[in-house]
Structure 1
Amino acid sequence: MPPKKVAAVTTEYRKWSHADVILRNLLDGYPDGTKPGLELVALVTDQVPKGDTSRALAKKHGFAIYESVADALTLGGKTLAVHGVLSIGEHGTYPTNDQGQTLYPRRRFFEDVCKVFEKTGKSVPVFNDKHLAATWDDAKWMYDRARKLFVPLMAGSSVPITWRKPNLVLPKDCELTGAVQIGYGPFEGYGFHALEGLQCMVERRKGGETGVRAVTCHPAKTMWEPLDNTPWAGPVLRAALDRVAAHAAGAVRELTAKSADAGTFEIEYRDGLRAFVVMPNGWIHEGDGGGFVFAGLRKGADTPDACQFYLQQPDPFAHFAELTRAIDHLVATGHAPYPVERTLVTTGVLDAAMRSRHEKGKRIETPHLAIAYSPTEWGPARGEIPKPQKK
Structure 2
Amino acid sequence: MPATPKRVAIVATVYRHWSHVDVLAGKILEGFLYDGGEKPALEVASMFVDQIPANDLSRPMAKRFGYRVSPTIADALTLGTGKLAVDGVLIIGEHGIYPTNDVGQILYPRRRLLAEVCDVFEQAKRSVPVFHDKHLGPTWTDAKWMAERVRALHVPFLAGSSVPLTWRKPVVNLEKGAKLTHAFGMGYGPLEGYGFHALEMFQSMVERRSGGEVGVQAVQYLSGPDMWKPIDQDAPTRALFERTRKLVTGHAPGDIREITAKTTDAGLFVIEYRDGFRGIVMMPNGWVYEGDGGAFLFAGQLANQPEPLACQFWLQNYDPFAHFSYLLQAIEKLIHTGQPGYPFERTLLTSGILDGLMRSRHQQNRRIETPELAIRYQPTNYPFATDPIPPAVQRKKLIP
What TM-score does the superposition give when structure 1 sets the normalisation length?
A: 0.98
Letter in 1 for 2:49: T
Give the match for residue 26 of structure 2: 24
Counterpart residue type for residue 45 of structure 2: V
Q: Specify every segment of 5 or more residues in structure 2 that has no aligned partner in the other structure, as ranges.
A: 396-400
| Cα deviation 1:319-368 (Å, max 9, x = unaligned) | 11111000000001101111000000100000000000000111001111
CA distance in 2, matches of 1:134, 1:319: 24
Measure the CA separation in 2 of the matches of 1:12 and 1:322. Answer: 22
Structure 1 residue aligned with 2:281: 277
Question: Structure 1 residue 374: deviation in Å?
Answer: 0.5
Does residue 194 of the first structure (1) align with residue 190 of the second (2)?
A: no
Q: Secondary structure at the match of 1:111?
A: helix
Give, in angstroms, the shift of residue 249 of structure 1: 1.5
Q: Distance in 1 between matches of 2:50 and 2:225?
A: 39
Aligned position for 1:3: 5
Deviation at 1:175, TM superposition (A): 0.8
Number of aligned residue pairs: 391
In 1, Cα distance between the equivalents of 2:19 and 2:224? Answer: 30
CA contact (8 A) 1:7 1:42 kept: yes
Contact 1:313 1:388 in 2 (8 A): no
Residues 122-167 of structure 1, C-alpha deviations (whole Å, 9 max, x = no match): 1000000000111011101111111100001100010000111111
1:372-387 correspondence runs (5 A): 372-387=376-391
Question: Residue type of the partner of 1:13?
Answer: Y
Give yes or no for contact 1:177–1:232 (8 Å, CA) kept in 2.
no
Offset of 1:230 from its aligned partner? 2.3
Deviation by residue 1:264-283 (Cα, 9 ceiling, x = unmatched):
00000111111111000010
**1:350-391 Cα distance to aligned partner (Å, 9 max, x none):** 000000000011100111111110011113112101112247
Cα distance between partner residues in 2 of 1:225 and 1:34: 50
Match for 1:229 among 225, 229, 233? 233
Does residue 118 of structure 1 match 2:95? no
Letter of the structure 2 residue corresponding to residue 110 of structure 1: L
Moved more, 379-388 or 126-135: 379-388
Q: In 1, Cα distance between the equivalents of 2:46 and 2:234?
A: 52
Consecutive unaligned residues in structure 1, runs of 5 or more: none
Of 257, 264, 275, 1:260 maps to: 264
Query: CA contact under 8 A between 1:160 and 1:379: conserved in structure 2?
Result: no
Alignment of 1:1-391 (within 5 A): 1-31=3-33, 33-390=37-394
Distance 2:339 2:196 in 1: 24
Shift of 1:172: 1.3
Letter in 2 for 1:20: D
Are the counterparts in 2 of residues 216 and 362 from structure 1 also a CA contact under 8 Å? yes
User: 1-side partners of 2:123 and 2:365: how far apart?
Assistant: 45
Amino acid in the other structure paired with 2:281? V
Q: Distance in 2 between matches of 1:192 and 1:220?
A: 21
Q: Is the 8 A contact 1:8 1:43 kept in 2?
A: yes
* Cα distance in 2 for residues equivalent to 1:208 and 1:61: 44
TM (norm. structure 2) is: 0.96
- Offset at 1:287? 2.0
Does 29-38 or 164-173 show the bigger shift? Answer: 29-38
Q: State the percentage of identical aligned residues.
A: 55
Aligned-partner residue type, residue 110 of structure 2:
R
Q: Is the 8 A contact 1:292 1:308 kept in 2?
A: yes
Q: CA RMSD in A?
A: 1.0
Determine the C-alpha separation between the residues in 2 that align with 1:346 and 1:227: 22
| Aligned residue identity for 1:194 | A
